[in-house]
Chain A
Amino acid sequence: MSELAIETCGLNYKFGNQKVIDELSLKVEKGSIYGFLGPNGAGKTTTIKVLLNLLQSPRDTVFVFGKDVNTHRIETLRKIGALVEQPAIYGHLTGKQNLYNRCILLGIPRSKALDMLQLVGLKDASDKKAGKYSLGMKQRLGIALALLPDPELLLLDEPTNGLDPNGIIEIRNLMVELTSKHQKTILVSSHLLAEIERIATHVGIINKGKLLFQGTIAELHSFAKPNLTIQVEPVELAAELLAAKGYQIRYGSQQNTLELAYSSKEDSSAINTMLVQSGCLVSSIHMEKTDLEHLFLDITQSN
């Protein structure tokens, strides 16, 4: 039996002539929180829509719990709860009625709707027209709708959009609880790595439709190559000396700093000695690991 909740095999998708998904091979393990990262327009939402069979994909390219979504559409959709882009809610119905309507479609008792309202903190606003909800409230209602069928797999497209800090923390905690206590699998998309790295067990980074990285958070950390940061005066002379020695250097964000790839302690000492002997004033020299945010930017910008 497949241990993958989601698998796409070299998936391609085009809007007209524009390729929006390019040879995408996602592998989302059961029970994981998969952070699906990429800048706006990278192809995250399109991928989620393909997983939901809202956009037609070629046969044998998209599998959910080992089943092709094209040939087992209803069977796979029964296992999925989804929040795609802005929450799809009926503005003329109240929050409670939106959930009741979904209960009708899913054939589940109405009492479940009340539990969900309680869970996402909308119980007091349950009789208010959903069209009058704030963006954060709509997002919560969207999450409640996604959770309503108690799905094995949750596809959440930027679920914390519009939520206040408390709301963001609550949703994060909820996702962790759903995977740890209820063995759910969650694919959560975001364009903010900082938001994802706190909860995700796995990460996929997509840009311009291409999957640039896929692995665990630990693998992503190890992927980050360290830099040697030198604070030195005069910085121009130091840059010339290092360039003459064949180092690839770049100016740091702070004044009088240079950055180059870290190789070893010995090499760092040799650089320090060379700069001091050449009359430069080195006030600090240290190894710095690229944080994930910068790594994310490096990965997506290099594409």
Chain B
Amino acid sequence: MNALIISLRSEFYKSKNTLAFWASILLPVFICGAITLGFYSNSDKILRMHYPPEVLWLNFAGSALGVMGMLILPFYVIFMAFSVNNIEHKNDTWKSLFAQPLNKFSIYAAKYLYGLLLIFICLFLFLGLTYLSAHLLHWLIPAQRFDAYNPLEMLSKIYLKLFLSAWSILSLQFVMSLIWGDFLKPMGIGFIGVILGIIAASKGWEYAYLIPYSHPTLALSARKSASVPTLFTQDIYSSLVFAAILFILGYFIVAKKSIK
């Protein structure tokens, strides 16, 4: 456990000045900022629609969720998995990392957990900023009745669901980035996977839940009302099973990894 915490601290220290780390903060800030600005500048138009508070919230939060969940999240996860491993590939530091008196599982698990943590931070910021910026809009334009409905439980569950749906992509991309040091293979496969995943999920293919890249789209596809979603659906179970299998597989790759 101590080795895991040490390795996690080191992962944070190494990447705190990298794009991978800052992307997890800047992405929600920019996207939520842009949506808030859009709602603020188009407030007259929005007010004329006379949305009930639930629908207003759904429109506002849905703007971020739609952009983030369907498209940006999968690519961000692919980039994250690549970055966490590429820091070692690029600097040829696997040899020094595995020559430290730490067990290989901790080194591997810390990298994986760090990837998960950054995705969690990113989605948590999306949730927090969506909530706060809506209330900021209400404060600036009191007629926008964001105060009349509390979507926190619903939004928390959606973002949690989105987070869990990303595990399978992260695990798959993590294994690929562990094996290949170059940018093109994992990114290329990931890109094709995301496109196929979106098509499979949006066309309602019955086995789409078996494609990791479909999971974020599937996690969001049931959102047609402001009701609190079911957290553990078939696609989420599938994502967690994929993640568990690939996490174990990744460890065997690391354990047998010979540093040539």
Chain A residues proximal to chain B, CB less than 8 Å? 15, 49, 52-56, 73-75, 77-78, 80, 82, 84-86, 88-93, 97, 100-102, 104-107, 145
Q: Is the CB of A55 within 8 A of B259?
A: yes
Q: Is the CB of B6 within 8 A of A54?
A: no
Complex Cα gap A97–B10 (Å): 11
Whether A86 contacts B92 in the complex (CB less than 8 A), given A55-B258, A77-B101, A105-B100, comes out as yes
Q: Is the CB of B258 within 8 A of A74?
A: no
Whether A54 contacts B17 in the complex (CB less than 8 A), given A88-B92, A91-B91, comes out as no
Whether A101 contacts B13 in the complex (CB less than 8 A), given A54-B258, A89-B93, A92-B18, comes out as yes
Query: Given the complex, which residues of B lie within 8 Å of A145, measured CB to CB?
Result: 96
Q: Is the CB of A54 within 8 A of B93?
A: no
Q: Which 7 A-B pairs have the closest CB atoms?
A: A88-B96, A54-B259, A77-B101, A78-B101, A88-B93, A52-B99, A74-B101
Chain B interface residue count: which class? 20 to 34
Complex Cα gap A92–B15 (Å): 9
Q: Is the CB of B6 within 8 A of A104?
A: yes
Q: How far is the CB of B257 from chain A (nearest CB, A)?
A: 9
Chain A residue at smallest Cβ distance from B91: A90
Chain A residue at smallest Cβ distance from B260: A15
Q: Is the CB of B13 within 8 A of A104?
A: yes
Centre residue among B95, B96, B260 by max chain A CB count within 10 A? B96
Q: How far is the CB of A173 from chain B (nearest CB, A)?
A: 25
Q: Is the CB of B96 within 8 A of A101?
A: no
Query: Given the complex, which residues of A lie within 8 Å of B91, measured CB to CB?
Result: 88-91
Chain B positions 191-222 with a Cβ under 8 Å from a chain A Cβ: none
Q: Is the CB of A90 within 8 A of B6?
A: no
Complex Cα gap A206–B100 (Å): 27
Complex Cα gap A53–B101 (Å): 11
B173 lies within 8 A of chain A by Cβ:
no
Q: How far is the CB of A148 from chain B (nearest CB, A)?
A: 11
Complex Cα gap A104–B15 (Å): 14
